[in-house]
Amino acid sequence: MSRQSFLLLLLLVLVLSLLWMGPKRQPACNGGELPCEADSQTLEDYGDMCRQAIADVPSFSCLDGAIIPITVNGKVPAEYRPNMDCDWPPLLPLGEEGRPGEQGQCIPFTRVLNFSQGERQIVAACRQKIIRSAESVSFDEIDIIAHNALDGSTCWFQAKGTNDQPLDGSKVPSPTAAVAPPGYPGRSGFWRSPAAVAGDNCGLCHDNDPFMYSPYIGQLWNRLPTNPLGYYRHLGQDFAHWPTESLSTANNACVGCHRIGVAFTSGLGTKQAVGMAQIDNADARAQRYPQSHWMPPGNFHSARQWQTIYRQSVEELIACNKNLQLPNCIVTPIPSLR
């Protein structure tokens, strides 16, 4: 064989080897089969998908929302102070990475808007994390949950500001509309990417239902949609790692009116609801029975009655949260129609 023929043969073997090996594949995201780039969606694609599956989210002003009250001993205080205690602080830590915010949990003038139309349910929360006036257009975080009660499809949108540069809540663009109204920022410059929102893991707390009850948001519960036993699923591959399983035990008294999920609501959430875990900045009134035991909502039982009816069920749920393999734990996929 000539030297030229040998080199051509060697080149052919090299080319065939490269073709057989194929391009190097990227690692899969969230345990999926596709590479990360294919798993992640752009905000535009995600917003379009949510509009088609649920509804178009309108642009809005946070100042049109209802204020979630912050009270002390059942009354609005004369002034709000950093790190004060209050009757019903939010369960969501207002600081990053699970730490309380610099000014604590009892921050006033967070607002909620309900854009629901029938089974197409859309709720926005404009959160204050530092003390400002009721008229302030500055907000630290704006969240939207969009839910189709007919099949369970649920979408999550989030925008975050900083203390130096809060969000302008007077002109919040739709995350599902391609074109913003005149004078509003574009959606891609305002809302975080689906991957960033999914990384905040809101669904680990909202593990049983898109709209979670607590005494804080419960002050406006009659203005919000509820689906305690309805369909529930997260749209978008970025959210595939969020749990969608319910947890119970035989004849459990805690799941008669709503589901309990396998993450927050059967663990820390259950403990906080029955006075077994501290809620940051909760005042003395909030820590006394019956306010300390706010499940079931509007608890009218005596302490002895509550213990008789619910204590064993609570203990079983907490044990299962720690170990789902216990023989009495019943784990069931939350139903959806897709």
Specify the pLDDT at position 164. Answer: 80
Q: How far apart are CA 239 and CA 40, in angstroms?
A: 9
> Phi/psi of residue 123, each to 5°?
-130, 135
User: Measuring CA to CA, how many Å separate 128 from each of 62, 110, 166, 305?
Assistant: 11, 5, 10, 38
Separation CA 179–CA 14 (nearest Å):
51
pLDDT of residue 95: 79
Residues near 143 by beta carbon (within 8 Å), at least 6 away in sequence: 124, 125, 127, 156, 157, 158, 159, 202
* Nearest alpha carbon to residue 36 among 25, 45, 46, 28: 28
Structure-block tokens of residue 237: 């591959």
Residue 118: what pLDDT?
A: 96
Q: Which residues of the chain are modeled with pLDDT < 50?
A: 6-37, 97-99
Check residue 338 and give its pLDDT.
75
pLDDT reported for residue 18:
42
Q: Are 249 and 315 in contact (CB under 8 A)?
A: no
Phi and psi dihedrals of 159, rounded to 5?
-130, 145
pLDDT at 60: 98
pLDDT of residue 30: 38
Please give the model's pTM, rounded to 2 decimal places.
0.87
Q: Is the dihedral of CA 279, 244, 208, 326 positive or negative?
A: negative
How far apart are alpha carbons 19 and 130 in whole angstroms? 58
Kindly provide the residue ranges of all beta strands, DSSP E only, lying in the chain, ordered along the sequence.
66-67, 111-114, 120-127, 138-139, 141-148, 153-160, 167-168, 233-234, 245-248, 330-333
